[in-house]
Amino acid sequence: MTTLKNTPLKTFKKALLVVACSTLGAISVSAQADNVNVPDTIHWTIPFGVGGGTDVWARFFTTWMSDHIQGNPTLVIDNVPGGGSINGSNLFAMRADSDGSQWIGTSASTQYPAMLQDRRVRYDYDDWTPILATPTGGVVYAQPNLGDTAEDVLQAVTEQRVKFAVQSHTGLELPVLIALDLLGVDVQAVSGMRSRGEGRLAFERGEADIDFQTTSAYFSSVAPLVESGRAVPLFSLGVLDDSGQVVRDPAFPDLPTFNEVYENLHGEAPNGPAAEAYRKFFASGFTLQKLILLPKDAPEALIQEYRDAARRFVDTETFKEAAMAQLGPYTPVVGEVVEQHLQDAMSLDDDTRQWLVEWLLEQHGARI
């Protein structure tokens, strides 16, 4: 007869082992899940004034992000205006902690000075990594006295000097200036507008011959003009699809893109230093118009969690509906894709920058 090995002591030892193993397993599983130590409060620096475009954009995102990040942290917006967003960005670069609780929201006005090596810039996009980017589109339109249809106007503007009211020669209008130059339009850029809205006002007063507005401003203020025959839309800037090609803007499916108009005119795609400059500034100012970034050396797990949180809502119907008014019909781009585009877009090679410096001085009398 075999002796029963299962003495009470052995059973006890076995049970202990089972308990120990399962506890260990449970701890390690929960430890992995608890790896993401999301801070209670996230401080989001917005280097723009309260109520401005980027501020409103950020406030729109605070509820969405707060609801979808694990642990539901509170997002507090810290406005640090000045220098056209340079001051706030400089301060963030200098002061922000890398523990994942400090974010910054930038827009084209922050990207462009960095690309143009403005001497006030003391921040570097290489030190930051993006969570998400929201693209925008834009439309160039003209006075109806230049022609009835877009084709007539495009013909007319290559034959006479047209006035365009801009904020500065190196602001959001820069790619538009380059695009018009590529199309052979002789543009007299009158600077000093304090907002794109003022530029639109100059157009409505009849002082400016052509103007440019981003999607949301176009819908609210320019579409009525077009409907009543006081403005003729010429082309949109288009958007980049996943493979990096410029396609028609979903907000303006009936308008040709700048690239289409160029190809119609010249028979080939735009090339040369001007086209290269256009491509870069278009990418960094429109495809990645507004960015949520944080210091690169924040904990990797946190960065992933923030990106995952964004992924949880950007494709939902509720978000798209709510975002339509604020952002237009564009889906935010999340995570690593943004990083790739950002690096490519913001690196201007010396030839292109040289061309830009000379062109700005010759064409527009602006020095950078």
- Which is closer to other proteins, CB of 224 or CB of 272? 224
- Which is closer to other proteins, CB of 23 or CB of 195? 195
Enumerate residues 6+ apart whose C-beta is below 8 A from 138: 176, 212, 213, 214, 215, 218, 236, 237, 286
Asked if 363 is part of the footprint of other proteins (rule: CB under 8 A), the reply reads no
Distance (Å, rounded) from C-alpha 89 to C-alpha 96? 10
Pick the binder of other proteins from 52, 144, 299, 329 (CB under 8 A).
Answer: 52
Instruction: Give me the helix-helix angle, 273-282 and 108-115, nearest 10°.
Output: 140
We find the least distance from the C-beta atom of residue 269 to other proteins, in angstroms, to be: 31
Which range binds other proteins by CB under 8 A, 19-27, 31-39, 74-82, 148-156? 74-82
We find the least distance from the C-beta atom of residue 291 to other proteins, in angstroms, to be: 20
Asked if 329 is part of the footprint of other proteins (rule: CB under 8 A), the reply reads no
Nearest one of 263, 216, 272 to 235, comparing CA atoms:
263
Which range binds other proteins by CB under 8 A, 141-149, 206-214, 276-284, 306-314? 206-214
We find the least distance from the C-beta atom of residue 96 to other proteins, in angstroms, to be: 13
Pick the binder of other proteins from 109, 111, 129, 170 (CB under 8 A).
Answer: 170
Asked if 169 is part of the footprint of other proteins (rule: CB under 8 A), the reply reads yes
Phi/psi at 148 (5° precision) = -85, -40
- Which is closer to other proteins, CB of 192 or CB of 229? 192
End-to-end CA distance of the chain: 99
Nearest one of 114, 101, 108, 99 to 65, comparing CA atoms:
101
How many CA atoms lie within 13 Å of 169's alpha carbon, on the beta-carbon side? 18
Contact (CB, 8 A) for 226 and 143: no
Question: Under the rule (CB under 8 A), what is the footprint of other proteins?
Answer: 49-52, 55-56, 59-60, 63, 76-80, 82-83, 87, 120, 163, 165, 168-170, 188, 190-192, 194-195, 197-198, 200-202, 204-208, 217, 219-221, 224, 325-326, 365-368
